[in-house]
Amino acid sequence: MATLLVGFDSAWTVHNTGALVGILRSDDGEIQELGLPLAVNYREAEHAIIEWQAHHAPANTIVMLDQPTIVSNAAGQRPVENLVGSPVGRRYGGMQPASRARRDMFGADAPVWSFLARFGGPANPLGSFTGTRVLETYPVLTMIALGWTLNDSRPTGRLPKYNPNRRKTFSISDWRKVCQLVSDAFREHGVPRLVDWLDECALSSTVRKPDQDRLDACLCLLVALHLVENQVCLMIGDLDTGFIVVPYGDHLSEELKTRCEQTGREPSEWLRSFRLTAGTGPNA
């Protein structure tokens, strides 16, 4: 049997595009690649996933989505963003707050809700992984969890500045470093076409926002691989107000535990490490 793994760097709104990449992974670990990352809007992403499912008939599907899947707050930020914003900010990064007030992204007619409805709604990462499951992830936090920060005067290091739309801070060397890190990770997982594509991206002297979207889709896909390969992952947040799933990292976990304590939260209620166990779902 095979599992369809999808990384979706979200389009966020109905008028924007993001990027989508997918692979099939059999129970014995064999990988079948389904092409290079695609620039897609929400409707195109939905159609691509449905076509992959129809053509390859996977037993299960895991979609790692870089956009909030649970947004119950009318304004401000979600509790998970209050937690995650601390380690992100410590590394010179920023996190957008999600609320229903941002109507194009999270209002009643936002495209994320119809996408989620088509694939069963937001999945519980601690529940059974059968059928199609969509989970929120966050590439920036994934890089922190994996220790992919760059040397800096701060002990924590800094996040790579690889968004080409931010011309004042964009660094081509940071771009190449992230491409190299993701390429190395996919090489270990046995995904050669994506390795070759990422190596080519690292050599590019002209980087556009769609290139970053495709790279972030690969980061989302990497989280899906961690899940299906039974590696320990971390769930931050809760099922009522929203959560994010990333690979487990000792330093990140400790930072988030401290942040919970600083904000009067019980760490065990907001941080859960887990891994998938074949045939039985996650073990917390």
pLDDT one-digit tens code per residue, 3-47: 999 999 998 888 889 999 999 999 999 999 999 999 999 999 999
Q: What is the pTM for the complete model shown? A: 0.95
The pLDDT, as a whole number, for residue 277 is 59
Give the DSSP letter of residue 40.
E
Task: Sort 113 into a burial class: Cβ within 10 Å, 0-12 / 13-18 / 19+.
Answer: middle
d(CA 225, CA 25): 9
Q: Could you read off the pLDDT of 227-280 as tens digits, one per residue?
A: 999 999 999 999 999 999 999 999 999 999 999 999 999 999 999 999 985 544
Q: Could you read off the pLDDT of 104-151 as tens digits, one per residue?
A: 999 999 999 999 999 999 999 998 888 999 999 999 999 999 999 999
d(CA 284, CA 271): 11
Domain coordinates in residue numbering, the chain = 2-275
Q: Could you read off the pLDDT of 158-197 as tens digits, one per residue?
A: 999 999 999 999 999 999 999 999 999 999 999 999 999 9
Q: Could you read off the pLDDT of 70-110 as tens digits, one per residue?
A: 999 999 999 999 999 999 999 999 888 999 999 999 999 99
Q: Is the pLDDT of residue 69 over 80?
A: yes
Sign of the dihedral defined by the CA atoms of residues 50, 11, 133, 30, in that order = positive
Q: Is the pLDDT of residue 223 over 50?
A: yes
Give yes or no for a contact between 71 and 113, defined as CB atoms under 8 angstroms apart: no
* Alpha-carbon distances, residue 23 vs 13, 30, 53, 57 (angstroms): 25, 10, 11, 13
Q: To which CATH superfamily is domain 2-275 assigned?
A: Ribonuclease H-like superfamily/Ribonuclease H (3.30.420.10)
